[in-house]
Amino acid sequence: MTKFIFVSVIFLLFVWRIKKGVSNGIMKEIANILSAAVALVCVALLLLAVNSALARAMSTLTVCVVGLILLGIAFKLCSLIFRPVLALGNISVIGGLNKMMGAVMGAAEACLLSYLLYRALDYLDIYVI
């Protein structure tokens, strides 16, 4: 039964990510992945900053604050770069290729998420295959 549920979840994950990739296109998918990675690093830096503030480790707190400021500046520069690149997706010749590559990127994301889900279930000793 768990095998059927796992395969169903993986299938739905693939359909969802490929559909989302086609609608977004590869350029927006890359921008979204970059945004998610930056957000994850920001959360990690914030948690480290709070932990170092509670432990009164001011050197670590300073590094975290400087890292957050630099990450914000880098993210703003990337958003300035991606804005004209995303506008290129509206050109009809590039638009079709953009959507097709978005579907490929969505499938790659689904593969990665499927692998991570499988490893998490394996870690929890829930055997699915």
> In the structure encoding, which two tokens stand for residue 21, read together?
């990739």
Candidates 96, 84, 42, 85; CA nearest to 67 is 42
What is the rounded CA–CA span in Å between residue 104 and residue 77? 27
pLDDT one-digit tens code per residue, 80-105? 888 887 777 777 778 788 889 999 99
pLDDT one-digit tens code per residue, 29-67? 888 888 888 888 999 999 998 998 888 888 888 998 999
What are the E-state strand segments in the chain?
Answer: none
